[in-house]
C-alpha cells in the first residue's frame, strides 16, 4: 500500500510506504518475515541487493531480525501469529512487531537468561536495538498483546572511494 500526501498545487510533498506481514511465532517464521522485509526495503530503493557499506540497510535488517526473533521467542501464544509492519518515509523507517503476549514486556538487560552473571548467550537483543535505533519502545496492542517498535533515520549508502 502506498500513501501519498499532496499539496494544493498537486505536487507530492511526501510519500509514505507501508509493508505488513503476519508470521508464525517460530524461528522460521521470524526468519521468513525478516527476509521478506529486506526484499521490500530493497525494492523501495530500487536496489536488488544490499550494497556493501550500506549501513542503513544493515541497521534496518538487524533491527527487524531482533524484533521478529523476540516476538517468536517471547510472544508465542498458541494459535496466534505476530505481525511485522514497516513504515517508510523520506526521513525515517519505523519497524513495528506486534505479538499476543501483552503480559511479557521487553526489558533491555544483560544476563536475563537466568545465570545472573551477564555471560549468557541470550538476553542482549534489546540492548542491540537500543544502541542501533534512534528511538524504540513498547505499546499495548488492542485487544491484547503488545507492539515493540524501533525507528531509525534513513541514511544514504556510503559512496565508494570516499567521494
Give the tens place of pLDDT for each residue, 146-162: 999 999 987 655 444 44
User: How many domains does the chain divide into?
Assistant: 1
Range of the domain at 89: 15-106+125-158
Q: Is position 8 within any domain?
A: no
Of 58-67, 82-91, 113-122, the least confident:
113-122
Question: Whose CA is closest to 63, among 162, 139, 3, 131?
Answer: 131
* pLDDT score recorded for residue 7: 45
pLDDT category of residue 136 using cuts at 50, 70 and 90: very high
Overall average pLDDT of the 42-49 stretch: 68
* pLDDT score recorded for residue 50: 46
pLDDT category of residue 57 using cuts at 50, 70 and 90: confident
Q: Are 85 and 96 in contact (CB under 8 A)?
A: yes
Q: 67 CB contacts (<8 Å, ≥6 apart)?
A: 84, 95, 97, 129, 148, 149, 150
- Judged by phi (left if over 0) then psi (alpha if -120 to 50, else beta), residue 79 lies in left
Q: Is position 114 within any domain?
A: no
Q: Domain of 136: which CATH number?
A: 3.30.565.10
Q: Is position 7 within any domain?
A: no
Overall average pLDDT of the 93-97 stretch: 96
* pLDDT score recorded for residue 116: 46
Selected residue with higher pLDDT from 7 and 102? 102
Looking at every residue in the chain, the average pLDDT score rounds to 79
Beta strand spans in 55-127 (E):
81-88, 92-99
Q: Is position 5 within any domain?
A: no
* pLDDT score recorded for residue 9: 61
Q: Is position 101 within any domain?
A: yes
Amino acid at each position: 500500500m502506498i500513501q501519498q500526501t499532496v499539496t494544493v498545487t498537486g505536487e507530492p510533498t511526501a510519500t509514505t510506504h507501508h509493508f505488513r506481514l503476519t508470521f508464525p511465532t517460530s524461528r522460521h517464521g521470524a526468519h521468513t518475515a525478516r527476509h521478506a522485509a529486506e526484499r521490500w526495503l530493497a525494492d523501495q530503493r530500487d536496489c536488488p541487493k544490499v550494497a556493501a557499506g550500506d549501513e542503513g540497510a544493515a541497521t534496518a535488517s538487524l533491527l527487524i531480525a531482533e524484533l521478529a526473533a523476540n516476538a517468536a521467542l517471547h510472544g508465542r501464544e498458541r494459535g496466534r501469529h505476530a505481525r511485522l509492519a514497516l513504515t517508510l518515509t523520506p526521513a525515517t523507517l519505523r519497524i513495528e512487531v506486534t505479538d499476543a503476549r501483552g503480559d511479557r514486556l521487553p526489558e533491555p538487560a544483560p544476563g536475563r537468561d537466568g545465570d545472573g552473571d551477564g555471560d549468557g548467550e541470550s538476553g542482549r537483543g534489546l540492548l542491540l536495538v537500543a544502541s542501533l535505533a534512534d528511538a524504540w519502545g513498547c505499546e499495548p496492542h488492542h485487544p491484547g498483546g503488545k507492539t515493540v517498535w524501533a525507528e531509525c533515520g534513513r541514511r544514504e549508502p556510503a559512496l565508494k572511494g570516499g567521494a
